Structures are given as structure tokens and as C-alpha cells.
Amino acid sequence: MIQKRYKEAFERASAERQEKILEVGIEEFSNNGFENANINVIAKKAGISIGLMYKYFSTKEDLFITCISRGCNILENALDEIMKSDDKLLVKAEKVIRTTCYHSKKNANYIRLYNEITSEKNPTLAKALAEEIEFSTSRKYISSIAEAFAKNDVRQDLEPRLFAFFLDNLLMSLQFSYTCDYYRDRFEIYTGINVDEMDEEKVVSQLLKFIESAFTFEK
């Protein structure tokens, strides 16, 4: 768990205020990027003074990171639900893909924020963020796959951790394709499909097919 980056005063603020600040923060950071987001604007939109903002967060970076943490939790909870079921791996995969699509639309701002993070240049911060964001999710994928591996439900010549990595790459790319301008255009260039008008069912099923063979492939 990343170290908390908000001050005690923030904890004492009302839940609605906390919510509002992070929501506005996520929106501003995801729309403008970290550098171009304006903390005075965020404060104003959140309905508090800039002084109070600095009572809650020591720096712009701290606010940014707290926004990210918030976004993380949202996605993680959804995943938990799915992973703790005892569905077969392929069923879980389908659920995860559908959930990914659903959340990419619902929490588009957060996904864009996530994309923002991936170009973080400060190595220490990058590491802390990666731990915060990827660790929990990765463990869920890895253990589910390892379990299936043990039951001989997946190819025995694929290492569970790399398998999980490849899988998440596909999900991550899908998320970005839903939410980030560049990736949306890229999606259309590749598939000819405009994300906003797409037949999601089809993409889900195609992705499932693309990966299912990895689960059960037999030469």
C-alpha cells in the first residue's frame, strides 16, 4: 500500500467533500495531464479555497497521487468480486473483460489518469505507483491462473505469471482504447470500428477467442 499522501485534515473533512475533491481532481488531471492541471481550478471546482486545499494536501503531486489511489480502489473492488468466485478460468476471464469494458466507460477519467501515470518520469514515484496499482490486481490474476494451472485447466508450457502479464496487457490496452484519444484512434485504425458505436459483444467475444486458445491449446 502506497504511503498516504494526504494530511490529517483531509481525513477530518466530510466524506462528500473528500469525494468531491478527488472526483474533480481525477477529472482535471485526466483532462489536462499532471503539468497542465491547475490546482487553483481544482480547488474552485471542488468548492474550497486554495488555502484549504493545501491544508489537505502538501503538494500538487500529493493530490494527484491521492486521486490515483481513489481510482484504484474502485476498480479493485469490482475485480475482487469476480476473482473470489470458483468459476472456471475462462468464465472468470469473460467476466473480467466485461467488467473492464463497463468500468472503462463508467470511470473513463480514472483510466485516462492511469494512462497519465504510465509516463511518469520519476523512477521512485513510478515504482511506488506501480506497486500501488498493479500489485493487488496482478496477484489476483496470477493466483487464479496458477490454480487453473495446477488443475491442468491451462497449457502447462505457459508460466502463470507471464500468462497473467500478457492477459493484463490486453485488458489494459482495451481500457485505454475506450478512454484515451490516442488509443481510440488507434483502435479505429486497426479495427475500422469507432469505439463509441461499436458492437461490444463482438469485441468481447473476439478477445475471448484470442486468449482462450492459450488456455486450452493442444497441438
Partner DNA sequence: GATGAATGAGGTTTCATTCAT
Partner DNA sequence: GATGAATGAAACCTCATTCAT
- Where does this chain touch DNA (CB under 7 A) — which range of 53-61, 95-103, 126-134, 152-160? 53-61
- Where does this chain touch DNA (CB under 7 A) — which range of 46-54, 110-118, 147-155, 183-191? 46-54
Q: Is 73 in the site for DNA (CB under 7 A)?
A: no
Angle between helices 39-46 and 15-36 in degrees, nearest 10: 150
Q: How far is the CB of 196 from DNA (least distance, A)?
A: 30
User: Which of a second copy, DNA, none does residue 161 bind (CB under 5 to 8 Å by kind)?
Assistant: a second copy
* Contact positions with a second copy (CB under 8 A) in 110-129: 112, 115-123, 126-127, 129
- Where does this chain touch DNA (CB under 7 A) — which range of 48-56, 123-131, 149-157, 181-189? 48-56
Q: How far is the CB of 26 from DNA (least distance, A)?
A: 15
Report the distance separating Cα 175 and Cα 55, nearest Å: 34
66, 13 contact by CB (below 8 A): no
Cell of 150: 495446477
H helices of the chain, in order, are: 8-12, 15-36, 39-46, 50-56, 60-83, 89-106, 108-117, 123-150, 160-179, 181-191, 200-216
Using alpha carbons only, how large is the chain's radius of gyration in Å? 19
Q: Is 198 in the site for a second copy (CB under 8 A)?
A: no
Cα–Cα distances (Å) from 89 to 80, 135, 149, 152, in that order, read 14, 20, 10, 11
Report the distance separating Cα 38 and Cα 98, nearest Å: 34
Query: Where does this chain bind a second copy (CB under 8 A)?
Result: 31-33, 35-36, 112, 115-123, 126-127, 129-131, 134-135, 138, 141-142, 155, 157-159, 161-166, 168-170, 172-174, 176, 180-187, 189-192, 203, 206-207, 209-214, 217
Query: Where does this chain bind DNA (CB under 7 A)?
Result: 9, 12-13, 17, 36-40, 48-52, 54-55, 58-61
